[in-house]
Amino acid sequence: MKSISFPNMFTKTSTLLVEDYYATLQNLKMLIWSEKGELFGDPYYGTNLKKFLYDQNDYVLKDLVIDDIYTAIITFMPQIKVERKDITVKSEGSTVKIYIKALNRVDFQTNLYTIVLLDTVV
């Protein structure tokens, strides 16, 4: 699988591409960081994670975040196979990270994708 590199997309003469693991990681980041309604062509693309940003941190919120991520991946990324139990959200100090273990259906390799959801510097 190939994808356009983001944010460095262009050089003077060509378009920069990423492949395989990095393309899937980049597409996961774009999906998770996008708010529903931001994409004009598909208003359902993305997640509702920004709505959960100021909610109280508890197990219910963690399950809601995991469900939202899982639903978005199942709906918009058919190139990877992921189960809900393979998505974990961990808070490490002021940083919130998402770990996704998924099977890439293009090359049938299992990879661990780490996405920083929130990073605040105190």
pLDDT one-digit tens code per residue, 101-120: 999 888 888 999 999 988 87
Structural domain for 55, as ranges? 2-119
Q: Which of 49, 109, 39 is nearest to 76 (CA)?
A: 39
Which amino acid is residue 68, in one-letter code?
Answer: D
Tokens of 34: 């996008």
Q: What is the pLDDT of residue 102?
A: 94
Residue 26 CB burial class (10 angstroms; 0-12, 13-18, ≥19): middle
The residue type at 110 = T
- pLDDT, residue 99, reads 95
pTM of the model as a whole: 0.84
Residue 1: is its pLDDT beyond 80?
Answer: no
pLDDT of 17 higher than 90: no
| CATH number for the domain that contains residue 25 | 3.10.450.40
Structural domains in the chain (count): 1
The pLDDT assigned to 56 comes to 74
**pLDDT by residue (tens digit) across 34-58?**
899 888 888 889 999 888 877 777 7
